[in-house]
Amino acid sequence: MSLAAKSLLLVAALALAACNNPDRYGAGGAGGTGGAGGAGGGINTTGLGDPNNPTSIAYFNQRVGDRVLFAVDQSTLSPEARQILTAQAQWLNQNPGYAAIIEGHADEQGTREYNLALGARRAAAVQNFLISQGVSASRMRTISYGKERPIEVCSSEACYQKNRRAVTVLSAGAGV
Amino acid sequence: MTRPMRPPFRTLLALVLGICALAAGPALAQSSPPRIVIGPGVIEPMPIAVPTFIDEGGAGDYARQITRVVISDLEGTGFFRTIGEDAHISRITSFDGGIAFEDWKAINAQVLVTGAVSVAGDRITVKFRAYDVFNGQTLEGAALQFAGTTQGWRRMAHKVADVVYSKITGEGGYFDSRVVFVSESGPKNARAKRLAVMDYDGANVQYLTDSSAIVLAPRFSPTGDRILYTSYETGFPRITLMDVGSLRRRTLEEQPGTMTFAPRFSPDGQTVVFSLERGGNTDIYALSLNGGGLRQLTNAPSIETAPSFSPDGSKIVFESDRTGVPQIYVMPASGGEGTRISGGEGRYGTPVWSPRGDYIAFTKQNAGRFHIGVMRTDGSEERLLTASFLDEGPTWAPNGRVLMFTRETAGAGGQTSLWSVDITGRNLKQIPTDGPASDPAWSPLLP
């Protein structure tokens, strides 16, 4: 990758990281890795680490970029998304001690049911791309939140475009 | 003195004709513009008198409260106007005493409802009669007595109103029913949700879950004793079955790597039809609750979701985006490709078959607005009943003549609320809830 492309990627990643709120599901909300009292496993706690440490979750979230965005109703990966996911795959391949849950989300336009299915489609598109880049399927799991968990709350395209996303959420451990 | 012969229930006739005309189907159909609230002048509400029920012993405040609920139910339909007690000429002092019909005619009451309440210990008895004021007769079948525990006093009031409504409109009642819904709190980006049930009018709220996990789209069983919903309790969306009496619940279909959602019961309550997502693709499946296993009903690379049975159990209406845009399809209950029935501009979703079998209600999204609408089961006679920033998820009243749905306002402070509307588009109104609420589902009429 050229230096220019790398810098572009970094800028994009930092811009995305700015809207990354680690407590995005709020107290008491069902966590992406296990709801309270759920049977699907306890809560996985992993330190974010130092963003300057290339093996840390913080580095992945902020420097690599933990999310990709989608067009309305689409689950097709844009060239920008492919670039971020290629970097995600490289990172995951270099750091086999992490597992990932890929969350698919939709904006609020659309019914609850359709958006759940659409979010799942987006998460699967990301998972399939990462698999194609050599990341083991056993390290990944997908979940859809539909329109239940927007990160931006305005009702215009400026917010909608950030909500139509798939986020790769890491946790320590070799599998999910 | 002779009065000119006056057709009983003149206004009512208009009402019934209105509904008949609807059933016969106007030729407007496909291109009809969104209908919002039509003013109350379209149907002149029928004037009726409901004097405070008589206390026949120990009833205390119950008689007054029951009367209030009967009036609220009837007026809430938009079809009735009660004449205030200060305008009454006669007082009803004895339930079985004679009635001075001339006094009720004089104030133009077309129907008179009298009642009496008695309480002994925790037992309550409510009796009532509804009269056709102009011929001085009891409406056939509208002289009944209900007995039970005082805890059920509101239900008895609803039953009185159901009988009166039903006798006068010719439609089934719907007041003695419950609605399960999602009670919401917190900001839009961290909304906490929990299941709750209430009377159809927003009273008697009970919470069924805490808000530790996201819960979505609950549905009553045909007998009202069980609820299906989607829960993130396991960390992933899973359809969950709850027994309303014991609140015991269990997750259905836990196949690793899949997500299940959008469940509904079959009319016999034995089967659950729902969406299952695997590898990003969502199809419709049926699961027998008697251990009969899982059957795949659709098999397409597109999204197939929001299935709903016809009341005879022979067909399923659902939503699919196989053309690139979500539309509504009908297939046999055994599965298949289905036949598209929606044809207009925009996106169609969440189809729900009326309990009477005559209409399918749906959510429509077009030109940046959401609508609740109804269409015939072949897709004809589409009519939009509401329009707003976001209306979705209609549910049918047990009589198939009223819909309840979620309305959400725009922006950072956007909140959800529950609304109801007649299938004529009339009588749009908000259901009172303690806080934001979404995803209502109506129970059957209670026994």
Task: Summarize pLDDT for A50-78 with one digit per residue, the tens.
Answer: 999 999 999 999 999 999 999 999 999 99
The answer to whether residue B118 sits within a structural domain is yes
Q: Cα-flanking dihedrals φ and ψ of residue B342, to 5°?
A: -85, 140
Quick one: pLDDT band at residue A175, thresholds 50, 70, 90? Answer: low
Cα–Cα distance, A64 to A85 (Å, whole number): 9
pLDDT of residue B347: 97
Over chain B, what is the mean pLDDT? 90
The answer to whether residue A24 sits within a structural domain is no
Condensed to tens digits (0 to 9), the pLDDT of residues B288-339 reads: 998 878 999 999 999 999 999 999 999 999 999 999 999 999 999 999 999 9
Q: Does residue B6 or residue B355 have the better pLDDT?
A: B355
Q: Cα-flanking dihedrals φ and ψ of residue B21, to 5°?
A: -55, -40
Which DSSP letter does residue A65 get?
I
Question: Which residue from B minimizes the CA distance to A150?
Answer: B189
Q: Choose among B257, B262, B408: nearest Cβ to A113.
A: B262
pLDDT of residue B328: 98
The distance of A108 to chain B (nearest Cα, Å) reads 9
The answer to whether residue A31 sits within a structural domain is no
What are the chain B neighbours of A39 within 8 Å (beta carbons)?
233-234, 251
Which of B120, B150, B169 is the last residue in one of the domains? Answer: B169
The answer to whether residue A156 scores a pLDDT higher than 50 is yes
The answer to whether residue A29 sits within a structural domain is no
Of B13-22, B95-104, B162-171, B382-391, least confident by mean pLDDT is B13-22
Residues B134 and B189 in one domain: no
Residues B152 and B242 in one domain: no
Residues B141 and B191 in one domain: no
User: The domain spanning residue B222 has which CATH number?
Assistant: 2.120.10.30
CB contact under 8 A, B321 and A114: yes
What are the chain B neighbours of A31 within 8 Å (beta carbons)?
235
> Which residues make beta-bridge pairs with B238?
B231
Apex CA A157: angle with CA A164 and CA B280, to 5°? Answer: 20
The answer to whether residue A34 sits within a structural domain is no
Cα–Cα distance, B172 to B157 (Å, whole number): 16
Condensed to tens digits (0 to 9), the pLDDT of residues B65-110 reads: 999 999 999 999 989 999 999 999 999 999 999 999 999 999 999 9
Question: Which residue from A minimizes the CA distance to B283?
Answer: A117
The answer to whether residue B30 sits within a structural domain is no
Question: Which residue from B minimizes the CA distance to A146?
Answer: B237
The answer to whether residue A124 sits within a structural domain is yes
Question: Is residue A117 within 8 Å of residue A92, measured between CB atoms?
Answer: no
CB contact under 8 A, A37 and B279: no
The answer to whether residue B293 sits within a structural domain is yes
Which of B197, B219, B423 has the alpha carbon at shortest distance from B306? B219
Domain residue limits at B300: 178-442
User: The domain spanning residue A128 has which CATH number?
Assistant: 3.30.1330.60
Quick one: pLDDT band at residue A47, thresholds 50, 70, 90? Answer: confident
pLDDT of residue B356: 95
Average pLDDT over residues B391-419: 97
CB contact under 8 A, B439 and A41: no
CB contact under 8 A, B213 and A30: yes
CB contact under 8 A, B303 and A117: yes
Condensed to tens digits (0 to 9), the pLDDT of residues A5-16 reads: 444 443 333 333
Condensed to tens digits (0 to 9), the pLDDT of residues A106-116 reads: 999 999 999 99
Residues B244 and B381 in one domain: yes
Q: Assign residue B374 a region: left if phi > 0, alpha if psi is -120 to 50, beta otherwise?
A: beta
Q: Which two tokens stand for residue B24?
A: 């016969």
Cα–Cα distance, A5 to A76 (Å, whole number): 22
Residues B106 and B197 in one domain: no
Which of B266, B263, B228, B268 has the alpha carbon at shortest distance from B244? B228
DSSP, collapsed to helix, strand or coil, labels residue B118 as strand
Condensed to tens digits (0 to 9), the pLDDT of residues B140-175 reads: 999 999 999 999 999 999 999 999 999 998 899 999
The distance of A1 to chain B (nearest Cα, Å) reads 31
Average pLDDT over residues B185-203: 96
CB contact under 8 A, A24 and B190: yes
Instruction: Name the domain count of chain B.
Output: 2
Of B35-44, B128-137, B237-246, least confident by mean pLDDT is B35-44
What are the chain A neighbours of B365 within 8 Å (beta carbons)?
109-111
Question: Which residue from B minimizes the CA distance to A141?
Answer: B257
Domain residue limits at A145: 3-18+48-172
The answer to whether residue B28 sits within a structural domain is no
Cα–Cα distance, B355 to B340 (Å, whole number): 21
Residues B130 and B220 in one domain: no
The answer to whether residue B131 sits within a structural domain is yes
Cα–Cα distance, B22 to B164 (Å, whole number): 22
CB contact under 8 A, B259 and A116: yes
The answer to whether residue A139 sits within a structural domain is yes
User: Strand (E) positions, A18-139?
Assistant: 67-69, 98-105
The answer to whether residue B283 sits within a structural domain is yes
CB contact under 8 A, B234 and A39: yes
Q: Which of B238, B282, B318 is the mutation pick for testing A, counting most A CBs within 10 A?
A: B282
What are the chain B neighbours of A24 within 8 Å (beta carbons)?
189-190
Share of residues in chain A with pLDDT > 70 (%): 74
pLDDT of residue B9: 39
Residues B150 and B211 in one domain: no
Question: Which residue from B minimizes the CA distance to A153?
Answer: B412
Angle, helices A79-94 vs A3-18, to 10°: value is 90
Quick one: pLDDT band at residue B13, thresholds 50, 70, 90? Answer: very low
Cα–Cα distance, B443 to B197 (Å, whole number): 10
Residues B254 and B389 in one domain: yes
Cα–Cα distance, B93 to B103 (Å, whole number): 14
Q: A–B: how many Cβ contacts below 8 A?
A: 156
pLDDT of residue A174: 66
Q: Choose among B235, B305, B392: nearest Cβ to A38.
A: B235
Residues B159 and B257 in one domain: no
Quick one: pLDDT band at residue B58, thresholds 50, 70, 90? Answer: very high
The distance of A2 to chain B (nearest Cα, Å) reads 33
The answer to whether residue A96 sits within a structural domain is yes
Which of B133, B152, B169 is the last residue in one of the domains? Answer: B169
Q: Which of B181, B259, B392, B407 is the mutation pick for testing A, counting most A CBs within 10 A?
A: B259
Q: Which of A105, A116, A169 is the mutation pick for testing B, counting most B CBs within 10 A?
A: A116
Q: Choose among B190, B233, B303: nearest Cβ to A114.
A: B303
pLDDT of residue B339: 98
Instruction: Name the domain count of chain A.
Output: 1
Residues B145 and B291 in one domain: no
What CA–CA distances, in Å, run from B183 to B203, B207, B208?
14, 8, 10
What are the chain A neighbours of B235 within 8 Å (beta carbons)?
30-35, 38, 40-41, 143
The distance of A94 to chain B (nearest Cα, Å) reads 25
> Which residues make beta-bridge pairs with A143?
A103
Which of B120, B145, B169 is the last residue in one of the domains? Answer: B169
Residues B151 and B115 in one domain: yes
pLDDT of residue B37: 30
Question: Is residue B164 within 8 Å of residue B158, measured between CB atoms?
Answer: no
Average pLDDT over residues B374-379: 97
The answer to whether residue B200 scores a pLDDT higher than 70 is yes
CB contact under 8 A, A26 and B319: no
Of A118-122, B16-20, B69-73, least confident by mean pLDDT is B16-20
CB contact under 8 A, B279 and A124: yes
Residues B134 and B196 in one domain: no
The distance of B358 to chain A (nearest Cα, Å) reads 24
Quick one: pLDDT band at residue B180, thresholds 50, 70, 90? Answer: very high
